[in-house]
Amino acid sequence: MAGSGFRNKGLVPTRRAALTLIGAGALAVGGGASACAATDDEVLTEAKVLRDPDTPVAGNPDGNITIVEWSDYNCPYCRKLEPELRQVVQDDGKVRLVMKDWPILGPVSVTAARTALAAKFQGKYHQAHDAMMGVSSRLTDPRINELLAGAGVDMERLKRDLTGRARDIDAILKRNNEQAEAFGFRGTPAFIVGKYRVPGVLSMTEFEQVIADARKAKMN
């Protein structure tokens, strides 16, 4: 029987007004497809949010706390936060970082997300991700191609995968969007840290604290 999943019922305020504890801390495991519109319980399952095998993972894949990040390659806040988040994950050593592409800032953002996910099929997602997150100017289609080629992505293979894997790529983006909307996120970046919903930017110190809080909540 499905639990309450990540649904935001009975939220508990914490040191930041935007930081909320998810429901009773239960995760719905499984959750089958429905002929009608998907409910939150079907969208926000542990398997789909934390363990989607098609979603790239960074950090420690066997970590005892999971951070899920929804980001857009044209989001300046995502770019600013990226090195700090990666440093926190590296310093901690026991954090599993799930990377959800959520292109909400226009057609070029969609192109960037689809391109990064296509690079995944040749084992170059992280190189593509880092290349596009590492620039300070707004992306364009030619700039995306230039950055990925410079990051060592096989561009001919990429073109083939963008076409041949289009259905798989679009399905990943659809799942990511449904989850973000079900959580009530309104922009990027947005996070789930353990049992906490974090719709916005945290400092390195705040990330370290919420990771510690998430570990405590996991034990309770």
Question: pLDDT at position 27, please?
Answer: 36
**R_g (Cα) of the chain, nearest Å:** 17
Length of the chain, please?
220
CA 130 to chain centre: 14
Instruction: Round to whole Å and give the CA distance between 132 and 183.
Output: 26
The whole-angstrom separation of Cα 33 and Cα 67 is 25
| C-alpha span between 69 and 192 (Å, rounded) | 7
**pLDDT value of position 44:** 76
* HEC assignment per residue over 110-171: HHHHHHHHHHHHHCCHHHHHHHHHCCCCCCCHHHHHHHHHHCCCCHHHHHHHHHHCHHHHHH
pLDDT tens, N- to C-terminus, the chain (220 residues): 333 333 332 223 333 334 454 543 333 322 222 223 345 566 777 778 888 999 999 999 999 999 999 999 999 999 999 999 999 999 999 999 999 999 999 999 999 999 999 999 999 999 999 999 999 999 999 999 999 999 999 999 999 999 999 999 999 999 999 999 999 999 999 999 998 888 888 899 999 999 999 999 888 7
Q: Is residue 95 classed as helix, strand or coil in its secondary structure? A: strand
The whole-number pLDDT of residue 40 equals: 59
- What is the C-alpha to C-alpha distance for residues 109 and 18, in angstroms, rounded to an integer? 25
